[in-house]
A and B are shown apart, each in its own frame.
Chain A
Amino acid sequence: MYDVIVIGSGPGGYVAAIRAAQLGMKTAIVEKYPTLGGTCLNVGCIPSKALLDSSEHYHNAAHTFKTHGINLSSLKVDLKQMISRKDDVVKQNVEGIQYLMKKNKIDVYQGLGSFVDKSTVKVTKDDGSSEQIQGKNIIIATGSKPSTLPFIKLDKKRVITSTEALNLNEIPKKLIVIGGGVIGMELGSVYGRMGAKVSVVEYMDSLIPTMDKTMGKELQKSLKKLGFDFYLKHKVVEVENKGKEVIVKAENAKGETVELKADYVLVSIGRRPYTDGLNAEAAGIKVNDKGQVEVDDHLRTNVPNIYAIGDVVKGAMLAHKAEEEGTFVAEVIAGQKPHINYNLIPGVVYTWPEVAAVGYTEEQLKEKGIKFKTGKFPFMASGRARASMDTDGLVKVLADAETDEILGVHMIGPRVADMIAEAVVAMEFRASAEDISRMSHAHPTYTEAFKEACLAATDNRALHI
């Protein structure tokens, strides 16, 4: 009998397992894929960042080296090598998780985990053999899968999801990205930088529509420079694979039909919670009509000894959100009282410039009727950014009009994926904009832009603009 069984080995699952083991609980983890790590490590965050990094190197070599005083001849992309290096990175990370399981004495079961009853999980291997394990507590961490539209047939050759986009054997001449969200903009960038003509078809009126509107606008400007074109407020109505060509039809706001042709179409309209084969009903677990496992504030399902975390429950589908929830649940099971501030989980888009945000957006503050001040600082005015020629973007700080408390920080620019951490810490301690602007920031660094935006928010007294 295990104290804890975790079903799913993504960032939520394996972190939950490690934390449970740290707290002295006998722990097992069940994974149906041959490798641990889940979507993030195998077909998500890690491989996409590997390709984003490689393609950005190529893009710099092709477009900025000359200005830097570096002359190259016969520059070309070896896509096979690029993908193979990405595979090595994935392999190293997966092996790292295996090592962590061993180190923490967590039993790993490879096979599909499904409920037999509320404390029994059947593990079915690919060869059909199965065994049953029992746990006092069970954590569902089965994650998500790419979603599609009912009329789009994902053939995985020409009409692809993010998974296939990480393993193409040629650079598309023309790539249509359906959905202007994070995954589409990242993978669109990978191939756009290497010469693909990228067209983005998005139903909403802005890119990355869940983020502050300023971010979507600025990202659109930057991607336009890469040669992207945009069909915002366009509703896709038909996708047809003609063999070597795919035709996408979309309706614009006026109801007119626009026809686009490309050799590849990436469908990135979101991800859906994944519970196929889990047999949740055998344990009496409620799954809502969106396919999410229903949980209370303690991430407990309607069955008291069964918890659920990550993409399979409500909330932002982010690896670090799942990780926080994994730690949270393990500690709750151990009798502790942890908390998660969901408003302070940062969101990052790994395009270049990067986009990162934490706290409320301007639109949310307006909707809530909260009076706020705005401070902005463009990277164009940053000495560090000019030195590296990464001058696209800005930092935007939203602070309470009366108390000066920081309510939201939105960044688009170089290395903001890492810079956002300062804003998270500041907001966890409820810092005011003035607090940040009175802290020393190393010069020259990109983070000075955050200090300057805080100065601008406090009293409109930025120094360098």
Chain B
Amino acid sequence: YATGHASPAAAKILAEKGLDPKDVKGTGKDGRITKEDAEKAEKPAP
């Protein structure tokens, strides 16, 4: 259930990048998306 859940800071960064949390691999406990994950995330190639 927590897999793919973005932390509050990560959620804001992803929203601004236009990324869906589903497309980001979370490295936090049980796959949670950390601020670092969100900062490193890039738009997948179309």
In the complex where A339-B11, A435-B29 touch, is A430 in contact with B16 (Cβ < 8 A)? no
* Nearest CB in chain A: distance from B1 CB, A: 4
Residue of B nearest to A340 (CB): B8
Verify B32–A430 contact, CB threshold 8 A: yes
A151 CB contacts on chain B under 8 angstroms: none
What separation, in Å, do the CA atoms of A151 and B21 have in the docked complex? 53
**Residue A428 at the B interface, CB < 8 A?**
yes
Chain B CB count within 10 A is highest, among A336, A337, A428, for A337
B11 CB contacts on chain A under 8 angstroms: 339
User: A336, A341, A405: which contacts B2 (Cβ < 8 A)?
Assistant: A405
**Residue B12 at the A interface, CB < 8 A?**
yes
B5 CB contacts on chain A under 8 angstroms: 429-430
* Nearest CB in chain B: distance from A343 CB, A: 13
- Mark contacts of B1-18 with chain A using CB atoms, 8 A cut-off: 1 yes-contact digit, 0 otherwise: 110010110011001100
* Nearest CB in chain B: distance from A264 CB, A: 44
**Residue A403 at the B interface, CB < 8 A?**
yes
Verify A338–B32 contact, CB threshold 8 A: no
**Residue A400 at the B interface, CB < 8 A?**
yes
Residue of A nearest to B3 (CB): A430
In the complex where A339-B15, A429-B32, A435-B29 touch, is A400 in contact with B1 (Cβ < 8 A)? yes
B1 CB contacts on chain A under 8 angstroms: 400, 403, 405, 430, 432
What separation, in Å, do the CA atoms of A403 and B12 have in the docked complex? 26
A430 CB contacts on chain B under 8 angstroms: 1-2, 5, 32
Verify A337–B15 contact, CB threshold 8 A: yes
What separation, in Å, do the CA atoms of A454 and B1 have in the docked complex? 18
- Mark contacts of A379-423 with chain B using CB atoms, 8 A cut-off: 1 yes-contact digit, 0 otherwise: 000000000000000000000100101000000000000000000
Residue of A nearest to B16 (CB): A337
**How many interface residues does B have (CB within 8 Å)?**
12
* Nearest CB in chain B: distance from A345 CB, A: 12
B7 CB contacts on chain A under 8 angstroms: 428-429
A428 CB contacts on chain B under 8 angstroms: 7-8
What separation, in Å, do the CA atoms of A338 and B2 have in the docked complex? 20
A341 CB contacts on chain B under 8 angstroms: 8
Residue of B nearest to A403 (CB): B1
What separation, in Å, do the CA atoms of A194 and B7 have in the docked complex? 45
* Nearest CB in chain B: distance from A409 CB, A: 17
Residue of A nearest to B34 (CB): A429
What separation, in Å, do the CA atoms of A336 and B11 have in the docked complex? 12
* Nearest CB in chain B: distance from A342 CB, A: 13
B28 CB contacts on chain A under 8 angstroms: 429
Chain A CB count within 10 A is highest, among B2, B7, B28, for B2
* Nearest CB in chain B: distance from A301 CB, A: 22
B2 CB contacts on chain A under 8 angstroms: 405, 429-432
What separation, in Å, do the CA atoms of A431 and B7 have in the docked complex? 11
A429 CB contacts on chain B under 8 angstroms: 2, 5, 7, 28-29, 32
In the complex where A403-B1, A405-B1, A405-B2 touch, is A336 in contact with B32 (Cβ < 8 A)? no
CB-contacts of B26-46 with A (<8 A): 28-29, 32
What separation, in Å, do the CA atoms of A403 and B8 have in the docked complex? 21
CB-contacts of A150-201 with B (<8 A): none
Residue of A nearest to B11 (CB): A339
Residue of B nearest to A336 (CB): B16
A400 CB contacts on chain B under 8 angstroms: 1
What separation, in Å, do the CA atoms of A423 and B7 have in the docked complex? 15
Verify B32–A337 contact, CB threshold 8 A: no
CB-contacts of A111-144 with B (<8 A): none
In the complex where A429-B32, A435-B29 touch, is A337 in contact with B8 (Cβ < 8 A)? no
* Nearest CB in chain A: distance from B43 CB, A: 15
A432 CB contacts on chain B under 8 angstroms: 1-2
What separation, in Å, do the CA atoms of A400 and B8 have in the docked complex? 21
* Nearest CB in chain B: distance from A258 CB, A: 49
- Mark contacts of A341-368 with chain B using CB atoms, 8 A cut-off: 1 yes-contact digit, 0 otherwise: 1000000000000000000000000000
A-B contact pairs, 29 of them (CB 8 A): A336-B16, A337-B12, A337-B15, A337-B16, A338-B12, A339-B11, A339-B12, A339-B15, A341-B8, A400-B1, A403-B1, A405-B1, A405-B2, A428-B7, A428-B8, A429-B2, A429-B5, A429-B7, A429-B28, A429-B29, A429-B32, A430-B1, A430-B2, A430-B5, A430-B32, A431-B2, A432-B1, A432-B2, A435-B29
B residues neighboring A (CB under 8 Å): 1-2, 5, 7-8, 11-12, 15-16, 28-29, 32
11 new A-B contacts at CB < 8 Å, known A337-B15, A430-B2, A435-B29: A338-B12, A339-B11, A339-B12, A403-B1, A429-B5, A429-B32, A430-B1, A430-B5, A431-B2, A432-B1, A432-B2
Instruction: State the 5 A-B residue pairs at the shortest beta-carbon distance, nearest first.
Output: A337-B15, A403-B1, A430-B2, A430-B5, A337-B16
